[in-house]
Amino acid sequence: MRILVLTETDACCGPMAAAFLHDYSTSIEVVSAGRNPAETIEPLMITAMKECMVDLLGYQPKSVTEFDFSAFDAVYECPDFPAPTTLEEFRELRDFIKNEAYLFFLSIRQSPQHP
């Protein structure tokens, strides 16, 4: 199964959600992309994700125009909040995204199309 995580900038919430979705099942391929991709990802997001043993150092935001939507089995429209300003705010956002991504994963796992 292939999942596209779609956000506005692909600089914070999208990469986090994609990483968590991939952790929930290694049998799915997850790609994150943005409508208007940022130049770089948020540095504090990298720190917050390392606390969950996820290394996003070197991740480069991608444009949704690089991908063909028909190549994906599902699209997850990830909430794209303004970037937090403190590490604690990034942790809160990370935990929120982790839960939302898990609920999405459960919904697709229970769908008839998922083996």
Does 111 score more than 80 pLDDT? no
Distance (Å, whole) CA 55 – CA 57: 6
Which residue would you say has higher pLDDT here, 113 or 61? 61
Residues 6+ apart with CB under 8 A from 21: 3, 5, 28, 30, 76, 101, 104, 105
Is residue 115 a part of any domain in this protein? no
Domain limits for position 64: 2-109
Is residue 114 a part of any domain in this protein? no
pLDDT digits over 54-63, tens only? 999 999 999 9
Report residue 64: phi and psi, to 5°: -65, -25
pTM tops 0.75: yes
Is residue 102 a part of any domain in this protein? yes
At what angle are helices 43-50 and 87-109 packed, to 10 degrees? 70
Domain count, the chain: 1
* % pLDDT > 90, the chain: 83
Per DSSP, the residues of 17-60 read: HHHHHHHH-TTSEEEEEESS--SS--HHHHHHHHTTT---TT--
Amino acid 21: pLDDT: 96
Is residue 93 a part of any domain in this protein? yes
> Which CATH number covers residue 50?
3.40.50.2300
